[in-house]
Amino acid sequence: MKRDVYLDDKPWEQALEEYLQYLDELGALEPGPAEIIKAEDALGRVTAEPVYARSSSPHYHASAMDGVAVRSLDTFGASETTPKQLKMGEQAVMVDTGDPVPPEYDAVVMIEDVHFVSEELIEITAAVAPWQHVRVIGEDVVATEMILPGNHIIRPMDIGGILAGGITEIKVHPRPKVAILPTGTELVQPGSQLKVGDIIEYNTRVLGSYIREWGGQPIRGEITADDYEKLKDRILKAVEESDMVMVNAGSSAGREDYTVDLVRELGRVLTHGVATKPAKPVILGEIKGKPVVGVPGYPVSAVLACELFVKPLVCKKLGVAPYRRPEIPATVSRKVVTPLGVEEFIRVKLGRVGEKTIATPISRGAGMIMSMVRADGILRVPRNTEGYQAGERVPIELLRSLDEITETTVVIGSHDIALDVLANYLKKLYPQASLSSAHVGSLGGLTALKRKEAHCAGTHLLDEETGDYNVSYIKRLLPDRKMVLVNLVYREQGLIVAKGNPKNITGLADLVNPGLSFVNRQRGAGTRILLDFKLKELGISPEQVHGYQHEEYTHMAVAAAVASGSADAGLGIKAAAKALGLDFIGVIEERYDLCIPEEYWDTPIIQRLLKVMELPEFQQEVYKLGGYDLRDCGKVMWRQSDSDV
């Protein structure tokens, strides 16, 4: 089988427009025959035709108040100063809310305006106009009135309107059946015993959930190995059993990427490759008059391709317009560089800091599902630009509600696992609140505070001259703002090594041993600064450490590198080593603080954090992680005075 190359590098909007036009001409996106369902079960379904009322609501003149039904003419002139008396049974009759108003009466006097002189005689202190306090026939719904148009997504209140109009069953468009075929010899089902090379197949569950959310019916196929004939059979079967087919993985141009050749053999390929990042190697095709879309195997790429190209097909098949997420303006927290000619979709964390909404880009890897779990929004970088400068205002497509973002505490700086525990207990104690943590290192966190892009920064910067933490850096980097240092934890920093310590590493001095590889933290990280300080003490230059330039952004990433064998050692916290069952060689206990601008101190954003830090259950859970001491947790370690500013 010859290796294919991308046929196109089209803008995705052009590719989609051409695809929809082609499918429309085939009639492939016409809704199927209408289904008749119970109105009470119709939530989220789409009406196949207008819904007209069979009966009026109310279907009789109904009292809108508790009171007495009267002839409005008999009440003329009544007031508090000139009350009128009416005979019960002749001129008035008692009614409750919802009761029929007798034919001879045309109004209701509220019970509050009625005084009973005797059982037979009442006195009223307010006149009423004709049909006042009466729900007349058809006030809500008139028989034959259109309740809902066709191609309408049914909401909870619509069900009430349908039933009020005397309708119990309605016609709806059928849910489009979307077959999702996972491909790849390396795939295994969730829960399988994993061996090297196995990849858990979760993409079809994610894509199927999106299809269901958009109103379709996902049909998840079995895993198909990278075999041309087997995949061919699966695709043909899926085409017969569904309205459209999505093949997950095999859409690129590798040795075992068969999808494009199969679609071409069985039908027609309209587009192979679009100018987006991620999701470039998408396939838009047709087999036997039905759409067939090939999406990449990486989860972020697969989801984006599904949203850009499959969502419009599902919506078109349902007769509705695709839902567009709301957008807000935000300030991008750091420089974003993208290739010219490609539209890039970047996941971001969001938080409201002062008067600005701050967007912090997170991992751009197409294979990182957690970047989607953590994302609050999407930044689209147009193909005619090369990115954005830090501080630029950009449009952000929201993945979470604006209320959630407004209630988010933005912590930018050094990584620590205790922040994840803090975020969990913050959510438990204050359900409306959340914590957004971006790991850019201690210096990066203080720089974010300087730019007013965070509520606080995690920092553990050691002053080589004094041996103290953080204060000298704050005075130097933030001379014009009053800051408060609050301790979160003391923690053990040391060398994370493989279980059993097979390289017999005893300390930092062994990092120069031949054949030993190291994994470092990024520039600006407090752990990197600590390493440089300790190496200097030992008279070791960075050039002597193999792997000094191998960087990761979190302690867990360092531990994962050691666990995977890509490094023999890395400097990190004991909790990260314990979490992955690795050995740990202690080097130093360090102080990890939160640096908080004084101006945010009394706000709920910060006060909620301080309350959580006092919780015994929070502290106990951090202790269980290993390598932590919380003797000063929540304590103010230093406060910048007016004379310091």
pLDDT in tens, 359-404: 988 877 766 778 888 899 999 999 999 999 988 999 999 999 999 9
CA distance 206 to 200: 12
* pLDDT score at 327: 96
Q: How far is CA 199 from CA 223, 230, 343, 506, in A?
A: 12, 20, 29, 35
Q: How many CB atoms lie within 10 A of CB 139?
A: 15
Sign of CA dihedral 43, 47, 50, 55: negative
Find out whether the peptide bond into 278 is cis, omega within 30 degrees of 0.
Answer: yes
Confidence of residue 642 (pLDDT cuts 50, 70, 90): low
> Does the pLDDT of residue 644 top 70, yes or no?
no
pLDDT at 5: 55
- Lowest average pLDDT, out of 158-167, 308-317, 358-367, 482-491, goes to 358-367
Query: Please, is 38 exposed, middle or buried when counting C-beta atoms within 10 Å of its C-beta (0-12, 13-18, 19+)?
Result: exposed
Please report the pLDDT score of residue 59 as a whole number: 94
Q: What is the pLDDT of residue 307?
A: 96
Question: For the chain, what is the radius of gyration of the CA atoms?
Answer: 34
pLDDT score recorded for residue 3: 47
Express each pLDDT in 438-457 by its tens digit: 888 899 899 989 988 899 99
Provide the residue type at 546 as one letter: H
Per-residue pLDDT band for 6 (boundaries 50, 70, 90) equals low
The whole-number average pLDDT for the span 514-535 is 91
The CATH superfamily holding the domain 35-57+140-172 is Molybdopterin biosynthesis moea protein, domain 2 (3.90.105.10)
HEC secondary structure over 233-302: HHHHHHHHHCCEEEEECCCCCCCCCCHHHHHHHHCEEEEECECEECCCCCEEEEECCEEEEEECCCHHHH
Residue 271 pLDDT exceeds 90: yes
pLDDT at 584 over 60: yes
**Cα separation values, 636 from 492, 598, 624, 628, Å:** 21, 12, 24, 18
Q: Is the peptide bond before 58 cis (omega within 30 degrees of 0)?
A: yes
**Predicted pLDDT of residue 186:** 92
pLDDT given for residue 2 in this prediction: 44
Residues contacting residue 161 through CB under 8 Å, at least 6 positions apart: 141, 147, 148
- pLDDT tens digits for 585-607? 999 999 999 999 999 999 999 99
Mean pLDDT over 30-38 rounds to: 97
Mean pLDDT of all residues in 143-172: 97
C-beta contacts of 101-107 below 8 A and 24+ residues apart = 101/61, 101/62, 101/63, 101/69, 101/134, 102/69, 104/71, 105/69, 105/70, 105/71, 106/71, 106/72, 106/130, 106/131, 106/134, 107/69, 107/70, 107/71, 107/72, 107/75, 107/131, 107/132, 107/133, 107/134
Q: How many other CB atoms sit within 10 Å of the CB of residue 511? A: 25
List, in sequence order, every residue forming a beta bridge with 483; answer none if it has no partner: 597
Phi/psi-derived region of residue 391, left when phi > 0, alpha when psi is between -120 and 50, beta in every other case: left
Predicted local distance difference test score (pLDDT) of residue 1? 41
> Which region among 47-51, 370-374, 403-407, 551-555 has the lowest average model confidence (pLDDT)?
370-374
Structure tokens at 638: 């230093």
In this predicted structure, what is the pLDDT of residue 562? 96
Tokens matching residue 137: 């026939």
Mean pLDDT for the stretch of residues 219-229 = 93
Torsion of CA 562, 443, 413, 359, to 10 degrees: -120
Cα 462 from chain centroid (whole Å) = 36
pLDDT of residue 466: 84
Domain extents in the chain: 12-31+175-318, 35-57+140-172, 62-135, 327-406, 457-644
Rounded to an integer, the average pLDDT of 535-540 is: 94
Ramachandran bin of 300, using left for φ above 0, alpha for ψ from -120 to 50, beta for the remaining angles: alpha
Cα separation, 459 vs 495, whole angstroms: 20
Q: Compute the Cα dihedral for 311, 312, 318, 322 and give only its sign.
A: positive
Give yes or no for residue 287 having a pLDDT over 90.
yes
User: How many alpha carbons fall within 13 Å on the CB side of residue 177?
Assistant: 12
**CATH number of the domain at 62-135, please?**
2.170.190.11
What's the pLDDT at 355? 87
What does the alpha-carbon distance between residue 290 and residue 245 come to, in Å, rounded to a whole number? Answer: 8
Distance in angstroms (rounded) separating the CA atoms of residues 65 and 519: 77
Q: How far apart (Å, rounded) are the C-alpha atoms in residues 208 and 217?
A: 8
What value does the mean pLDDT take over residues 490-501?
Answer: 96
Which of 348, 362, 452 has the alpha carbon at shortest distance from 394? 348
How many residues in total does the chain contain? 645
Paired tokens of 201: 């197949």
CA distances in angstroms from 415 to 23, 419, 516, 555, 582, listed in the order given: 49, 8, 26, 7, 19
**Is the CATH number 3.40.980.10 carried by domain 12-31+175-318?**
yes
> pTM for the complete prediction?
0.85
Give dist(CA 509, CA 506) in Å, integer. Answer: 8
pLDDT for position 483: 96
Cβ atoms of 347 and 339 closer than 8 Å? no
Which residues does 272 contact at the CB level (< 8 Å), separation at least 6?
Answer: 4, 6, 7, 8, 260, 281, 282, 283, 284
pLDDT band at 9 (very low <50, low <70, confident <90, very high): confident
Q: Average pLDDT for residues 219-248, to the nearest whole number?
A: 95
Question: What's the CATH fold of domain 327-406?
Answer: Beta-clip (2.40.340)
What per-residue confidence (pLDDT) applies to 254?
56
Q: Each residue of 140-170: b (16+ CB within 10 Å) or e?
A: bbeeeeebbebbbbbeeebbebbebbbbeeb
Q: Comparing C-alpha atoms, which of 68, 62, 41 is closest to residue 128? A: 68
CA pair distance 330, 379, nearest whole angstrom: 10
- At 459-495, the pLDDT tens digits run 999 887 888 899 999 999 999 889 999 999 999 999 9
Residue with token string 């090939």 = 294
Structure confidence at residue 515 (pLDDT): 93
Q: Give pLDDT tens digits for 71-113.
A: 999 999 999 999 999 999 999 999 999 999 999 999 999 999 9
CA gap 452, 512 in Å, rounded: 41
Tell whether the model's pLDDT for residue 4 goes beyond 90: no
Residues in contact with 21: Cβ distance below 8 Å, sequence separation at least 6, in sequence order: none
Name the CATH architecture for the domain at 457-644: 3-Layer(aba) Sandwich (3.40)
